[in-house]
Structure 1
Amino acid sequence: LFWMVLSLDKWFWWHEYWFPPGFTWEDMKESDSISYPKPRDLLHIVPYALLLVGVRYLFQRFIARPLGRKLGVRDKVRLNAPPNPVLETFYGQLISLSKQCDLPTRKVERWFCYRRNQDKPSLTTKFCSLDYTVSLQKPWFWDPRECWVGYPQQPLQHSMYWYYMMELSFALALTFTMAFDVKRKDFKEQMVHHATTIILISYSYCANYLRIGSLVMLLHVSSTALLELTKLLHYLNWRRASHLLFLTFSSVFLVTRLIVFPCRVLYTSFYSSMVSFQPFFGYYFMNALLMVLQLLHVFWASLIIHMLYKFVNGTVYTVHPVHWAQLPAGQHC
């Protein structure tokens, strides 16, 4: 078993999976003046993620909730379902239980309605679900071709280390809390997104794809902050401001995800990178993950365009919370 694990470890870290032809892990050794990303750095993200979960809990309980109440956010009064062990056991299944419970069908339907409302997050909970963003200004943000200058021997900057650690820890913290957060209609898509995010950030760190990775993360958080602020204003009943911000968010999302991301990020990753090195496993793996993200962008963009069409044409006069549940939340890659 020991030799099997050793062989698997050697196979997993084979340099041809991580670096272009002509480079090995020996070329990424540190010196007194130059530091490179080390895979063992990723072990730090678990305690960081748990710390973020704790900070988020304390923030929601002692700051966001009292602040929300002072600003006028009030939870709706919801009727609890009366105790019924049989219905509780089979809750969630679309099967008629009227004969088993000896109840009219209408009463069973009403019970399920009450039981469903118990699981809905309160307005205060939604008000507390805010994200944070980190932004860095680097040359490759303006000229993506700079991502490949000197690759893979690009020194690790201290700020870039913390940027990656915080983004990856935040993505992992979101995954930890998905079972307790607001349930969304696109739960499966969110799971795919979080998994892709964690793999993408982890691989880009180990393979020193830091520049292109940071560019991807910056594009994603640019619209996430606007979405969270829009939701906050909506829960405060500031309709006009929330509608204006929703239009702003939609514009930023569609431009960054459907224009900037494919035309700048995907283009430089697919084509500009080959000026510096020949395609290898990491080239195909990285671009495959980026394409998964782009497919999710198209999916969420279609939902936003559908909402905009209804909103602009007067089909709906407000953006209801059920619509918010369809939008991407907590995206950081």
Structure 2
Amino acid sequence: MGLVAVRCGMPSWEWMEALLNEWLWQEESWLPPGVTWQDIKMKEDEGRFPLPRDLVYTVPLAFAFIALRFIFERLIALPLSKHLGVKDRIRIQADSVPKLETFYKQTSRQPLQKEAVSLGKQCGISQRNIQTWFRHRRNQDRPSNTKKFCEASWRFVFYLISFTAGLGSLINTPWFWDHRECWRGYPKQPVAVAHYWYYILELGFYLSLLLCVSVDVKRKDFKEQVIHHIATVFLIGFSYCANYVRVGTLVMLVHDSSDFLLESAKMFHYAGWTRTCDSLFVVFALAFLVTRLVVFPGRVVHTTLVLSLEFFQPFFGYYFFNTLLLVLQALHIFWAYLILRMLYKFVFLGKVERDERSEDESEVDDEEEAPEEDGDEGSRKQRKGAINCKLASLANNCVLNNLTSQRKINCRAQSRKAR
């Protein structure tokens, strides 16, 4: 009512700012009961207090990360992929059929049987050839190993630098060892310059991932990844505005501690370094299960849910922050389930066949052999590449069958000896 009364005598921008301050920055939402904005003001000699306007810099920083990633992938990641021996499969190019191309882009990438029959009549092509065309067309859109390697190497570099810098800035802080220190003196807690940049860079990076999610390689956990990025952006932004910086730095450190191991395992997987990939994946799985299922809920979530109540009464920020943490924990449990499936396969099959967490594409199609008609040299190369891929797959299956048979023989021999 007060704003409405003075609306006529205020410029529009001042009125909007006053309205924003009245509704968005209510003390009951951001501060514990009995604490006002005046109580947490700091003098210059007391240190830096986090202000919401600081987060504005993360938007141009996100675009800067996208530009830096573009340069990194072409000048560093691409030559590195060639040096490590990353190879792309030769895919058969689908013939140019405008009606099928229009249906593929505008209607569906996998037509139903009725749709395939209708398309066949329109184009004068058999139903089998229609299905083959769509299979080849889908395979054309599947990302190459080089593209996936470049993406993984970019995330690996950031997560490694972020974890190293974050650990170096936190290891000597009192709240790193005693989590009650996260709340002692809250909310009037100064923020160090190192932790300020830790926050700004992390938020800018996750914003860049969210902006690029539509052009990046889509995994089978695509929806969970989007939810994770959105929850992380809200978590970092809200915790900074509410001055949950101390516990927020611990949350970011826990996440970065295992992510760079996963990205390094992906890089060696694309390069065909199977043993190195398997070893790194086992290390990552152990680190992930310990940090996300033990340290995160047992230490970080416990201090925000339980220990914080020793210093202040619950308020909106308390419930909102902990809700976001629980959303992340639910995603951790989902990914832990996929990782445990991988460990099961590694223990009982002796090989990590694929990354159950996020390595599969959303759809998988078998490569088809090239048509039998005579064509140019490019078509012959495609046919040769497709045949080689099938021979390699057949050889791998034979090796796996031999290994399985050998294991059964060994088990029977051990049983006889035991008897």
Same fold by TM-score, threshold 0.5 exceeded?
A: yes
Map residues 1-333 of structure 1 onto 2, 5 A cutoff.
6-33=18-45, 34-91=47-104, 92-95=109-112, 96-102=115-121, 103-129=125-151, 130=153, 131=155, 132-133=158-159, 134=162, 135-136=166-167, 137=170, 138-314=173-349, 317-320=351-354, 324-325=358-359
Structure 1 residue 322, shift from structure 2 partner = 7.0
The whole-number CA distance in structure 2 between the counterparts of 1:321 and 1:97 is 33
Letter in 2 for 1:262: P
Q: Bigger shift: 43-52 or 85-94?
A: 85-94
Letter in 2 for 1:54: A
Structure 1 residue 17, shift from structure 2 partner = 0.6
Q: Bigger shift: 133-142 or 39-48?
A: 133-142
Over the matched positions of the two proteins, sequence identity in percent amounts to 50
The whole-number CA distance in structure 1 between the counterparts of 2:268 and 2:240 is 36
Structure 1 residue 42, shift from structure 2 partner = 0.5
SS in 2 for 1:156: coil
Residues 243 and 319 in structure 1, CA contact (< 8 A), matched pair in contact too = no
Letter in 2 for 1:228: E
Q: Bigger shift: 156-165 or 102-111?
A: 102-111
**Cα distance change of structure 1 residues 9 and 109 upon mapping to structure 2, 3 Å threshold:** farther
SS in 2 for 1:301: helix
Residues 204 and 210 in structure 1, CA contact (< 8 A), matched pair in contact too = yes
Residues 140 and 147 in structure 1, CA contact (< 8 A), matched pair in contact too = yes
Structure 1: state its 5+ residue gaps.
Answer: 328-333
Q: Deviations over 1:175-216 (max 9, x none)?
A: 011111111111111111111000000000000000111101
The whole-number CA distance in structure 2 between the counterparts of 1:28 and 1:235 is 51
Residues 184 and 326 in structure 1, CA contact (< 8 A), matched pair in contact too = yes
Structure 1 residue 146, shift from structure 2 partner = 1.5
Q: Deviations over 1:98-121 (max 9, x none)?
A: 322332222122111111111111
The whole-number CA distance in structure 2 between the counterparts of 1:323 and 1:295 is 14
Structure 1 residue 21, shift from structure 2 partner = 1.2
Letter in 2 for 1:123: N
Letter in 1 for 2:323: A
**Cα distance change of structure 1 residues 4 and 44 upon mapping to structure 2, 3 Å threshold:** closer
The whole-number CA distance in structure 1 between the counterparts of 2:288 and 2:116 is 45
The whole-number CA distance in structure 1 between the counterparts of 2:67 and 2:137 is 29
Structure 1 residue 303, shift from structure 2 partner = 0.7
SS in 1 for 2:295: helix
Structure 1 residue 296, shift from structure 2 partner = 0.4
TM-align CA RMSD: 1.9
Letter in 1 for 2:272: N
Q: Bigger shift: 23-32 or 65-74?
A: 23-32
Structure 1 residue 14, shift from structure 2 partner = 0.5
Q: Bigger shift: 128-137 or 46-55?
A: 128-137
Structure 1 residue 90, shift from structure 2 partner = 2.3
Q: Bigger shift: 67-76 or 40-49?
A: 67-76
Structure 1 residue 326, shift from structure 2 partner = 5.3
The whole-number CA distance in structure 1 between the counterparts of 2:35 and 2:266 is 47
SS in 1 for 2:228: helix
Residues 45 and 168 in structure 1, CA contact (< 8 A), matched pair in contact too = yes
**Cα distance change of structure 1 residues 157 and 273 upon mapping to structure 2, 3 Å threshold:** same
Residues 87 and 97 in structure 1, CA contact (< 8 A), matched pair in contact too = no
**Cα distance change of structure 1 residues 242 and 124 upon mapping to structure 2, 3 Å threshold:** same
Structure 1 residue 4, shift from structure 2 partner = 7.3
**Cα distance change of structure 1 residues 157 and 323 upon mapping to structure 2, 3 Å threshold:** closer
